[in-house]
């Protein structure tokens, strides 16, 4: 399971949890402006917007290629891919369209679009195809959130075509398709961050005997529908200062509401899904923050501290080891 969300304070933030039972091996990866993208069907882009995000880097014709999971570009557009297993379906190649392989979707949008509005224009001419990166990497079955400070959309490629939805909740998880996730919010319209009043019956003296009872009924399990509701509630009620540390700290608390602990979600005999990493990107400043399952300290990488005019990927190994700051 995975969850992505956005958050607005003085700056605009987007991040995700990456939940899975094993890691493909990922690094925080900056693609500078002059790294040539050789798209499989859509030609070569020699110069483009720079981006930073989490990627598995693999050789492609002798050159390192960034297989992004989530990323943000220097214009403040960000994008995350989340599992959509059983529902994702990619199209066949159509000669009259711009054919984009599923693994190229994040770089194809982020390298060329300065806003979600520009991304929407690109999507009109795009045909998302199932071309694989390599034979040992079958096409990932995903759907995507694309956001900037003004707009948030979800893109789902299904057997009946490409769907683009506005995302007023600012959240994406996994199955079912996005319109069903949004519809389920209707069931929780009565939930509140305030204490409840007794609407049950005036014949009974019902009391709020504990704090937090306004949100009684908020689903606590790890299913993607429940995580969608829980993160939407947490995000929409979130209050924080607008400084960088206040905002980033609050963002990690929002996604912390759907953190997956080892042992609670068994996906095969003895195999458990966990939150491998949680990310938070300051999309205005191009800073990528992350924590990992064992490393709860917030680590940060600022793309503007690197030479963004270069032509080679800039890669940072994830700091995975947990640390305790002893005070005596």
Residue whose C-beta lies closest to ligand TCH: 83
Least Å from the CB of residue 148 to ligand TCH: 21
- Residue 92 half-sphere exposure, CB side, CA atoms within 13 Å? 0
Distance CA 290, CA 110 (A): 20
Token digits of residue 49: 């917007």
Token digits of residue 33: 């402006």
Least Å from the CB of residue 240 to ligand TCH: 27
Of the candidate residues 65, 90, 133, 178, the single one contacting ligand TCH (CB under 6 A): 133
If the CB atoms of residues 11 and 73 are measured against ligand TCH, the closer one turns out to be 73
Could you tell me if 289 and 13 are in contact, meaning their C-beta atoms sit under 8 angstroms apart? no
3-state secondary structure 171-211: EECCCCCHHHHHHHHHHHCCCCCCCCCCCCCCCCCCCCCCC
Distance CA 149, CA 14 (A): 10
Residue count at the site for ligand TCH (CB under 6 A)? 22
Examine residue 176 and say whether the peptide bond preceding it is cis (omega within 30 degrees of 0). yes
- The one segment of 19-27, 89-97, 211-219, 285-293 that binds ligand TCH by CB under 6 A: 19-27
Q: Which of residues 197-236 bind ligand TCH (CB under 6 A)?
A: 224
Least Å from the CB of residue 60 to ligand TCH: 12
Beta-carbon contacts of residue 260 (< 8 Å; ≥ 6 apart)? 1, 17, 19, 222, 273, 274, 275
State how far the alpha carbon of 108 is from the alpha carbons of 73, 153, 174, 232, in Å: 11, 16, 22, 28
Site map (CB under 6 A) of ligand TCH, residues 40-69, x = contact: ----------------x----------x-x
Token digits of residue 209: 């005997």
Least Å from the CB of residue 209 to ligand TCH: 36
2 a catalytic residue: yes
Beta-carbon contacts of residue 63 (< 8 Å; ≥ 6 apart)? none
Of the candidate residues 174, 247, 278, 291, the single one contacting ligand TCH (CB under 6 A): 174
Of the candidate residues 47, 137, 217, 311, the single one contacting ligand TCH (CB under 6 A): 137
- The one segment of 43-51, 136-144, 176-184, 241-249 that binds ligand TCH by CB under 6 A: 136-144
Of the candidate residues 24, 39, 188, 272, the single one contacting ligand TCH (CB under 6 A): 24
Q: If 0-12 CB within 10 Å is exposed, 13-18 middle and 19+ buried, where does residue 140 land?
A: buried
Site map (CB under 6 A) of ligand TCH, residues 104-123, x = contact: --------------------
Least Å from the CB of residue 228 to ligand TCH: 11
* 264 secondary structure, DSSP code: S
Q: Which of 2, 72, 78, 280 is catalytic?
A: 2
If the CB atoms of residues 81 and 286 are measured against ligand TCH, the closer one turns out to be 81
Q: Does 18 bind ligand TCH (CB under 6 A)?
A: yes
Interacting residue ranges for ligand TCH, rule: CB under 6 A: 1-2, 18-20, 24, 56, 67, 69, 81-83, 85, 103, 132-133, 137, 139-140, 142, 174, 224
Mind telling me the catalytic residues? 2
């Amino acid at each position: 399971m995975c969850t992505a969300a956005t958050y607005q304070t003085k700056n605009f933030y987007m991040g995700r949890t990456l939940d899975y039972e094993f890691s493909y091996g990922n690094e925080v990866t900056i693609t500078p402006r002059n790294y040539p993208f050789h798209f499989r069907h859509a030609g070569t882009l020699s110069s483009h917007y720079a981006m930073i995000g989490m990627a598995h880097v693999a050789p492609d014709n002798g050159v390192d290629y960034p297989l992004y999971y989530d990323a943000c570009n220097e214009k403040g557009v960000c994008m995350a891919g989340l599992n959509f297993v059983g529902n994702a379906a990619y199209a066949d190649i159509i000669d009259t369209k711009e054919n984009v392989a599923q693994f190229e979707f994040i770089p194809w949008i982020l390298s060329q679009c300065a806003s979600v509005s520009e991304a929407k224009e690109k999507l009109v001419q795009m045909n998302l195809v199932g071309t694989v990166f390599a034979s040992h990497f079958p096409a990932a079955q995903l759907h995507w959130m694309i956001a900037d400070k003004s707009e948030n959309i979800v893109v789902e490629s299904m057997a009946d075509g490409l769907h683009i939805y506005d995302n007023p909740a600012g959240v994406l998880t996994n199955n079912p398709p996005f319109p069903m996730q949004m519809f389920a919010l209707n069931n929780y319209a009565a939930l509140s961050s305030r204490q409840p009043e007794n609407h049950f019956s005036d014949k009974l003296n019902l009391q709020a005997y504990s704090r937090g009872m306004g949100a009684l009924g908020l689903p606590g399990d790890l299913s993607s529908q429940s995580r969608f509701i829980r993160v939407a509630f947490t995000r929409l009620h979130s209050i924080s200062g607008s400084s960088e540390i206040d905002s980033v700290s609050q963002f990690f608390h929002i996604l912390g509401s759907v953190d997956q602990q080892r042992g609670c979600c068994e996906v095969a005999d003895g195999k458990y899904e966990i939150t491998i990493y949680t990310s938070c990107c300051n999309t205005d400043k191009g800073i990528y923050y992350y924590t990992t399952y064992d490393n709860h300290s917030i680590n940060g990488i600022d793309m503007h501290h690197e030479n963004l005019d270069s032509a080679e990927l800039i890669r940072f190994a994830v700091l995975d080891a947990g640390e305790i700051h002893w005070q005596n």
